[in-house]
Amino acid sequence: MQKPSPGRIVIARVDPLMNNGSDEAPAVITRVWSDTTINVRVLLDAFTTPLWLSSIRLLDERPADRGVYATWWPPRV
């Protein structure tokens, strides 16, 4: 697993109604609590109010369960 640090980009699961229909958005790590718990500022596509997620789980890849509220590393291309 990659090591989180402030300023790195991850992908966050969000409400599609806040993000032009997409259930994922880029997020910037603002605080690292552990290798698997972070705070992020989410960069939404259509919502003007900033979204902050605190003490959110960081996973290696997108979770299969749609109910899981988490962040994950973007795939490398």
Whether 16 is covered by a domain: the verdict is yes
Examine residue 67 and state whether it is found in any structural domain, yes or no.
no
In a domain, residue 2? The reply is yes
Nearest to 44 by CA among 75, 77, 70, 17: 17
In a domain, 38, yes or no: yes
Q: Average pLDDT in the 41-70 region?
A: 88
Host domain of residue 39: 1-58
pLDDT at 57 > cutoff 90: yes
Check residue 33 and give its pLDDT.
98
Specify if 19 maps to a domain.
yes
Is residue 74 one of the residues assigned to a domain?
Answer: no
pLDDT at 64: 87
Report d(CA 73, CA 65) in Å as an integer. Answer: 16
Residue 68 has pLDDT above 80, yes or no: no
Considering its fold, how many domains does the chain have in total? 1
pTM: 0.90
